[in-house]
Amino acid sequence: MSDYFTPGQVAERFGLTLDTLRYYEKAGLLREVERAPSGHRRYRTDDVELLHLVRCLRDTDMPIARLRDFAELVRDGDHTIPDRLEVLQSHQHHLNARIAELRERQDTIQHKIDHYLGVLAENPAPDERPLPPPGSGPAPETASAGEGS
Amino acid sequence: MSDYFTPGQVAERFGLTLDTLRYYEKAGLLREVERAPSGHRRYRTDDVELLHLVRCLRDTDMPIARLRDFAELVRDGDHTIPDRLEVLQSHQHHLNARIAELRERQDTIQHKIDHYLGVLAENPAPDERPLPPPGSGPAPETASAGEGS
DNA sequence: ATGCGACCTGGAGTGCGCTCCAGGTCAAGC
DNA sequence: GCTTGACCTGGAGCGCACTCCAGGTCGCAT
């Protein structure tokens, strides 16, 4: 029932390396972590919770610099909650926009896929050509008119 | 009615810099572009179309290396269409997964936002406090029990 | 003839986010 | 006492995707 976590445990839990964990601390994404007498870090529940959010924001591409600003707000105390809200909400908006963009791009890519499928359908490769009508001779070379991009 | 585009036109159209355009060419994302006698590049419709797709794939975070492979397939001719399809389809799957992940993370972030909103609601900042019930005295200091992360 | 703007080249530089490393300490187990 | 494994430090290095730069050419307008 330890009320702290070792670096190894935290790294494991969040799928980070020890190096990254230390890097985050140095970069100001976590408050300075407590130490055991040996000098080894001891992560508290608070640290782990903040790290959870940090991880979440990093995974959604918030830059380190912005994360540092956020972490600073957290360190500055409860009166910064409105500011933190603003950071998180603006990030949500950003994510909405990003998701919408990805979807749009997916549509474009899908058009290209459909185009290729169409090309294959009228001009299938030998090993996946549907059975030719019985009695037909050997297939002629299917000359395609250049690269349709 | 020119049947080609200048670097400036292409850059403008796709929101790229001339440097990036040249970088893409050097990196093998485009085939080698034709030149005017002056040595200036002349982009054909084909180039522009490929660039459109390249842009689309880059915007959705396909790495340059993978894009180069794809462009190579395009250069290699129509028989690579099944391979190109595989690249595009696997990218679509990747995008589906990415979008799903972003949504999940959004949920987590939203929980945090709601949490902060809750804190603000029970403990509003002075300048946004709802009117107190009539007859109440000055508000006591609202001591919060530490950082709720 | 001069100036201008668009473009050319090869190569160096930048910013980000890690990642790796050498050399060291500490606690526990054999 | 010695080894092992987890961790420590400061600092260098890396991969990616650009981005910038110096010095040059070309064609056109004044």
Is A125 in contact with B99 (Cβ distance < 8 A)? no
Does B25 fall in a domain? yes
Given a contact cutoff of 8 angstroms between Cβ atoms, the answer to whether A59 and B105 are in contact is: yes
- pLDDT of A149 > 80? The answer is no
The runs of H, that is alpha helices, within chain B are: 7-14, 18-26, 45-59, 64-76, 81-122
- pLDDT of B133 > 50? The answer is yes
Chain A: residues touching B (Cβ < 8 Å): 46, 49-50, 52-53, 56-57, 59-60, 74, 77-79, 81-82, 84-85, 88-89, 91-92, 95-96, 98-99, 101-103, 105-106, 108-110, 112-113, 116-117, 119-120, 123, 125, 144, 147, 149
Q: How far apart are CA A131 and CA B34, in angstroms?
A: 43
Tokens of A125: 């490769």
pLDDT digits (tens, 9 = 90+) for A111-131: 999 999 999 998 876 666 566
Q: How far is CA B32 from CA A140, B11, B54, in A?
A: 32, 16, 15
- pLDDT of A1 > 70? The answer is no
User: How many folded domains does chain A comprise?
Assistant: 1
Does B138 fall in a domain? no
**What mean pLDDT comes out for the span A12-32?**
97
Report the CATH number that the domain containing residue B76 is assigned in CATH: 1.10.1660.10
How far the first Cα of chain A sits from its last, in Å, is: 62
CA→C1' distance for A44 and C27 (Å): 21
- With cut-offs at 50, 70 and 90, classify the pLDDT of residue B147: very low
Does A144 fall in a domain? no
Task: List the beta bridge partners of residue B5.
Answer: B43
> Which residue in chain B is spatially nearest to A46 when comparing CA positions?
B149
Tokens of B46: 């084909």
Q: How far apart are CA A72 and CA A9, in angstroms?
A: 25
**What mean pLDDT comes out for the span B131-142?**
57
Work out the mean pLDDT of chain A and round it to a whole number: 89
- pLDDT of B15 > 90? The answer is yes
Which pLDDT value is given to residue A123? 81
Q: How long a stretch of residues is chain B?
A: 149
> Which residue in chain A is spatially nearest to B100 when comparing CA positions?
A99
pLDDT digits (tens, 9 = 90+) for B91-131: 999 999 999 999 999 999 999 999 999 999 988 766 665 66
Q: How far apart are CA A148 and CA A115, in angstroms?
A: 9
Tokens of A48: 């782990």
Give protein residues whose Cβ lies within 7 A of nucleic acid chain D.
Answer: A 6-9, 11, 18-19, 22, 39-41; B 17, 19-20, 23, 37-39, 58, 63-65
Interface test with A, best of B73, B75, B117, B147 (most A CBs within 10 A): B147
Task: List the beta bridge partners of residue B42.
Answer: B34
Tokens of A58: 């990093």
Which pLDDT value is given to residue B71? 98
Instruction: State whether the beta carbon of B39 lies below 7 angstroms from any atom of strand C.
Output: yes
- What is the DSSP secondary structure assignment for residue B105, as one 8-state letter? H
Give one word for A56, left, alpha or beta, with left for phi > 0 and alpha for psi -120 to 50.
Answer: alpha
Does B103 fall in a domain? yes
Tokens of B63: 């790495």
Does A41 fall in a domain? yes
Which pLDDT value is given to residue B45? 96
Q: How far apart are CA B134 and CA A12, in angstroms?
A: 54
Residue A80 structural domain: 7-123
**What mean pLDDT comes out for the span B30-58?**
96
Work out the mean pLDDT of chain B and round it to a whole number: 89
Q: How far apart are CA B148 and CA B119, in angstroms?
A: 9
Does A136 fall in a domain? no
- pLDDT of A106 > 90? The answer is yes
CA of B66: nearest nucleotide by C1' is D16
Does A140 fall in a domain? no
For residue B101, list chain A residues with Cβ-Cβ distance below 8 A: 59
- pLDDT of A72 > 60? The answer is yes
